[in-house]
Structure 1
Amino acid sequence: MSVSSTPEGVSVSPRHIHFDVSEDLKSFWHGNDAFRTAFFNALSLQFPDGEQQFINAVRLYRDRIDDPKLKQEIRGFIGQEALHSREHKNYNEALKARGYDIDAIDRRFLKHMEWVGKLRPSRQLAGTCGAEHYTAVLANAILKNPEWMEGATPAMKQLWRWHAIEETEHKSVAFDVYRACVGNERLRRIVFLFVTWNFCKYTFLNTCSLLRTDGKLWNVRTWLGGLNFLWGKPGVIRQCLPEFLAYLRKDFHPWQQDNRRLLAENLRELEGVGAAN
């Protein structure tokens, strides 16, 4: 019996796309808005080390998986995450070239990731499932609400669309591995609370670090606009909150949010503009 829950019509396969966003990152690329630009850049700063940890956690269990479909999806998951890590490393290097102290930010997050890497395998995989839930919900929201990226440069729109598409495609892979090899629902939910704290903590700290370099950290208008973006209108976090909290249900599964139609629509648009160089 297959233990993969990836639905029919969804393929977990890496796309070898390269985005040159070095020029875009020399400016406030998201509508000339300091907070929105810093918020998305703060997310990017977590991806290279974070996604490498996701790969490591799933690798700890892949030899225990017999289902051919899930084994293939694990290979696809690792390939997709490796490419995300590569593109966001380039993204972050461009931020460093602009004058941000990316090395200090990386050291802060890497210290946390090294601690995570010393946890028991079951906790590492539970953490990966929780973090993948956050990326999947945010990915769905970005695909569903293109107005959230209104004003962003075309290259940045495409980079975030590509990342969101692949996070959606593989959103159940780590979860299926966890369910097959660990299956501890209490651990899954408890670890999610720690993931929530750390995800919010490092996104906030990174955003503050970037805004400090921009000279906007103590700018009241910047923060009022940012709070409106996250909690008011459009309310990125506010709109995602019910989906984030759904993870705490005992019967939760990533594909309960069945967004295959949305995925297909965005795939056509991604391919239609010829994002690959």
Structure 2
Amino acid sequence: MTVNQTPEVKIETRHLKFEVEEELKTLWHGGDVFKTCFFNALSMQFPEGEHQFIRAVRHYRDRIEDPRLKKEIRGFIGQEGVHSREHKRYNEALRHRGYDIDAMDKRFEKHMAWVSRLGPTRQLAGTCGAEHYTAVLAHGILSNPDVLTGASPVMKDLWRWHAIEETEHKAVAFDVYQRCIGDNNLRRVVFFFVTYNFFKFTFLNTCTMLKAEGKLWSLKTWLGGLNYLWGKPGVVRKCVPAFLDYLKKDFHPWHHDNRELLKTWEDKFDAELYQQPARAAS
């Protein structure tokens, strides 16, 4: 029997809507074209990706007998459903900057169609790997204020909301996998494919957006971007050790116990946002 290593964590579906249409007509991340395009590129993967995560976990839901994990699965599905909806709205709003959203969607949908033809075991293993990437990046957003320094308040709220909920449910797919499959070799092998595709599509989407901005071949833009990701603040560089923890045989997402950080942001976020009815779903 698999020992539950996940602590008691609230997995709450926050039915919020973010009015980002006007924000996304601008270089919302402090006027910096690379930072703005990088985050926008991440968003392009979320609607389809998170629907796939839901399908992968839902396939095994009826095999789970633990009432606590069943409740966590419901929370996971609810949160990912709202994430998919909000990022679909986000991505549609990007059309105003002249980005070829249809081409980027088509490119990613082709990949996700391939993923959907894999067996359910590999789909769930892939979901675990992708959830690890989002959880580690979420921790970076919540723990390092430099990541979103200069971003508009609305966009900060959106990305922090997403980061909070990704942290809350970071172990759900993993716990389902361990109970229903438990093959750590497969989990680690699939992680390499997830890694390749995560960075591939983020890079391609960033390039597509930089091209639309007329900055694809700007050395200054790329040097600034590389410094942001790998220098200071080092958004990706600081995440690498945590990314690689996934390859440990005894890995569990909550071995990186950031509940104290999570609670700080949950309290702050909920207190501020729930007082702003314009951003709450009707």
Q: Which residue of 2 aligns with 1:199?
A: 198
1:63 alignment partner AA: D
Separation in structure 2 between the aligned mates of residue 222 and residue 99 of structure 1, nearest angstrom: 19
Q: Structure 1 residues 177 and 3, CA, compared in 2 at 3 Å: closer, same or farther?
A: farther
Within a 5 Å distance, the mapping from 1:1-277 to structure 2 comes to 4-8=4-8, 10-274=9-273, 276-277=279-280
Contact 2:24 2:96 in 1 (8 A): no
Inter-partner Cα distance in structure 2 for 1:200 and 1:176: 25
One-letter amino acid matched to 1:222 = T
Give deviations 1:160-193, integer Å, cap 9, x for gaps: 0000000000000000000000000000000000
Q: CA deviation at 1:4?
A: 4.7
Would the aligned equivalents of 1:25 and 1:94 in 2 still touch at CA under 8 Å? yes
The alpha carbon displacement at 1:264 in A equals 0.5
Q: What's the TM-score, normalizing by structure 1? A: 0.97
SS of equivalent to 1:236: coil
Q: Per-residue deviation at 1:99?
A: 1.6
Kept after mapping to 2: 8 A contact 1:3/1:176: no
Shift of 1:148: 1.0
| Structure 2 letter corresponding to 1:77 | F
Residue 273 of structure 1: how far off its partner (Å): 1.8
TM-score by length of 2: 0.96
The residue type paired with residue 37 of structure 1 is T
Residue type of the partner of 1:24?
Answer: E
Deviation at 1:2, TM superposition (A): 8.2
- Contact 1:35/1:225 (<8 A) preserved: yes
**Does the CA contact (< 8 Å) of 1:13 and 1:80 recur in 2?**
yes
CA contact (8 A) 2:56 2:124 kept: yes
Per-residue deviation, 1:150: 0.5
Following superposition, the deviation at residue 118 of structure 1 comes to: 0.6
Unaligned runs of 5+ in 2: none
Identity, in percent, stands at: 66
* Letter in structure 1 aligned against 2:163: A
Give the Å deviation of 1:52: 0.4
Query: Aligned AA for 1:180?
Result: R
Letter matched to residue 52 of structure 1: H
| Matched residue count | 276
Task: Report the alpha carbon displacement of residue 97 of structure 1 after superposing the two structures with TM.
Answer: 2.9
Contact 1:4 1:69 survives alignment (8 Å): no
C-alpha deviations, 1:113-143, integer Å up to 9, x for none? 0100110110000000000000000001100
